[in-house]
Structures are given as structure tokens and as C-alpha cells.
Amino acid sequence: MAGVALENWVERIRDPKIECMSRDEMADLQSKRLVDVVKRVYENVDFYRKKMQQRGVEPGDIKSIEDIEKLPFTTKEDLKNNYPFGLLAIPMKDVVRVQGTSGTTGKLTIAPYSQKDVEVWGECVARGLTMAGLTNEDIIHVCYGYGLFTGGMGLDYGAKALGATAIPMSAGNTKRQMMCMEDLGATAFACTPSYALYLAESIQEAGLVDHMKIKAGIHGAEPWTEEMRKKIESILHINCFDIYGLCEITGPGVAQDCIHKAGLHVHADYFYPEVLNPATHEKCADGETGELVFTTLAKEAMPLLRYRTKDLTSIDHSPCECGRTLPRISKFTGRTDDMKVIRGVNVFPTQVETALLSMGGVVAPHYMMIVDREDNMDVLTVMVEVDERVFSDEIRKLDALRNKIGAVLKQALGISVRVKLVEPKSIQRSEGKAVRVIDNRKL
């Protein structure tokens, strides 16, 4: 199977009335929904009522989407402090399911859903699947994890809303994944980009690329670079799409890119995006990088006002070539909490990934960053797999390669790094979110 070339891609829009709506029409819809959600949380959620009262804001002060700046922010810490159901805005008897994501202290971040919330979730994912050229005739192999994690269930709901066939494989057992993808005729697959790359390499090594019917990959849940996208696409001869979401807002389906790959279309009728300076909270201009902040405009069970995602991106409000007028967010440079300050320089894992992939196959796109502190000095070590095609036991050749990688990384990051070359496939592969950084400093 040669995949589907860009020029042969069929452009589809699931809901033109919404996705191609004028900015004025969208602002009117957002305003109406914001007024409603503010009134609901003020009346039903003690946390928000107190927050608004502290700012001297009442529901009547919110008359349009332009008034959103008057509202308080919500943080992950607020969700933790109100665990598990302190932010619930409906009776518990009206909650039809609960999703969650693991936290750093062992407690989960909990997100309850009403039946309408589940339906909206599925509809948003279905819009994204349509952006990827999928229809009710497609077979979607879902190897995101099922359970409390929103990945598996989100793609499952989206496939159902689209009328497509879902194969609920969940994560793990790569050989079984490949067998089912081939035998059941999957035309698309969904998983994290790091696992997509691992799966693509495994399919290639097994000589199964031409046996597959896959035409699209739907990948998200972790930042990934354009270089990684191209790597997966080149191995499987497919088109890969970036899907974005977070459990607190709804799960996957908040945004996704279309075939033009010019940013991820945000479903702004349901999720109002702001991109703000993380320090000053001032609104960023289109194209300027800042922290992504979301307000859920129609969520019933746990609406959130101005939720700080910690994801770093920029926004573009101009219409896309595909015809959609939804605002687009750029591919993420990382998260404010993924960023490591090393000797005064901000370093993101995606910068390392981009630099390594720019070397044209000299090294494999698998790496690990280890940050230590030696004699009061930050030291960054980057473990890099040497591609098996160029792997050599000759010390002189390995030293030259190590020096070359070090120079590329220093130019990309602005600081010198230690490079440790390791054998092919010696860095642990991830079937979920990849662990890219180990920080051993006591900060």
C-alpha cells in the first residue's frame, strides 16, 4: 500500500456551519455560551463563586466573550485542592462517566462527564477524523490506552460519532498490534507519536509496510516535532495528523490539524482559546508564543474558566486554506513545566529532537536527556542511539560522531552538552507518553 498522496486527498468538512462560521458569528455564539457557563458555575460551584467574589465580579458583569479577561484563572493546583468532585456543577446522579490522568503526587486529576459532555467529546473527535480524510467506511485501530486515560475512549467515541469501525486494541503487545492492523484491514491508527514511530519501525522491520492499508495516523498526548511527523510518514507512506486535548477540558479532540498542516484547528464553539504571556498574563498577538488557556463554553459536569494548560503555542485567527475559519494553534514547543533552565538557558526536549532528526539518519530519533548538578554547575547529558546502519566499534569513528552531535546540539540549544552514544534500541521504547527528561538536580 503506497498511502494516499497529498494531491489525492479528499478535503472534507464535517460541520461547515460551525467550522466555516464568520468570526462575528462565532463571537456571538461564544458570548452566549460564556454568559451561560459563568452563571452556572457561580450558582453551582463554591470554588468559582468565591473566586469571582474575590475579584469583585458577578455573572451580570459578563456580557460578551470580550469580558473573559474579568474572570479568574483555574490551575492544576485548583483541581488538586478540589479533588475529587469539588468542581462538579451538576448532581452526581447526572454524571455518566469519570476520566482521569495521573498526578505527580499519586492523586488523579479527575474529570466527570454528563451524557451531553460525552456526545460533544465524540463530535469533536469526529470533526478531527474528518480533517484526516476519514469517513464512516474507515477502520480505525486505536492503540491509545483505554481506562481512565482519555486517549482510547476519546478516539473510540469519535469513531462512533463518525460511523467508522473502531478496533479497541489499547496499548502494548506490538506484535499483536501489527497482526490485527494487517488482518482486520485498518485504514488509520491512533496512538502517541513516540509509539507511532516505534510501531512504524517495527512494521518496517517485519516487512509489512506494503501489507498495510493504513492511510492516516492520528497522534497526540505529547509534544512532537515536524521532523518526527515526516519520519513516521516516510516509513509508512501515510499522512500523520496532530490531535490535541487534555483530560481537564475534554480529552483528545480539542484541536487537530487538517491536511494542510498549518496549525491545529480549535473547536472554538466549545473551547475558547487564549494565548497569554505566562508571566504577565497579557494577551499575545497572533504568531507570538505564550501559554494556552482554555474556557469550556458548553461543558456541563465540570466547566472550567480560563484553565492554564501550561502548553506553549501561538495562535492564528486567519482562515485556513481548507476553508475552516476556526482559530489555529501552532505545534507545541513544549510545556512550561517541561522546560528545563540549564545554566540560565531555557531548554525543551523538542529542540533536542529537532536537532537530532536534522542529521539525516546518522542517529536514530530516540534520546534521553539527563540533567545533573556537579560542583554547583548544571550538566546536561544527552543519550543518543546510533543508527544501526552507521554503528561502529571503532573508537575514532564514534568520537567523531559524538563531537558532531555535540556541535549540532550546542548550536540548537545555545549551551554545551555531554553526548553519550548508545547502541541501537537500547533506550527504552514507550507505548504511552515517552519519558524524555530525567532531572537529578535538587531544585
Beta strands in 231-376 (DSSP E): 239-246, 251-257, 264-266, 271-276, 290-296, 307-313, 315-316, 328-329, 334-335, 340-342, 345-347, 363-374
pLDDT tens column, 240-257: 999 999 999 999 999 999
* pLDDT at position 178: 97
- The rounded percent of the chain whose pLDDT value lies above 70 is 93
- Does domain 340-439 sit in CATH 3.30.300.30? yes
pLDDT mean over 149-177: 95
Locate the domains of the chain by residue range. Answer: 6-22+111-335, 340-439
The pTM assigned to this predicted structure is: 0.83
3-state secondary structure of 282: coil
3-state secondary structure of 419: strand
pLDDT mean over 94-116: 84
SS3 track for 189-228? EEECHHHHHHHHHHHHHCCCHHHCCCCEEEECCCCCCHHH
C-alpha cell at 266: 480549535
Common-topology check for domains 6-22+111-335 and 340-439: no
Distance from C-alpha of 302 to C-alpha of 122, rounded to nearest angstrom: 17
pLDDT tens column, 277-299: 988 999 999 999 999 999 999 99
pLDDT band for position 443 (cuts 50, 70, 90) = low
Please report the DSSP string for 115-157 in residue order: HHHHHHHHHHHHHHHHHTT--TT-EEEE-SPPSSSHHHHHHHH
- Res. 361: pLDDT tops 80: no
Pick from 319, 324, 327, 4: which is nearest to 135 by CA? 4
Contact 117, 299 (CB under 8 A): yes
Report the residue count for the chain: 443
CATH of domain 6-22+111-335: 3.40.50.12780
Q: Which residue has the cell 483528545?
A: 252
* pLDDT at position 105: 47
Distance from C-alpha of 272 to C-alpha of 304, rounded to nearest angstrom: 11
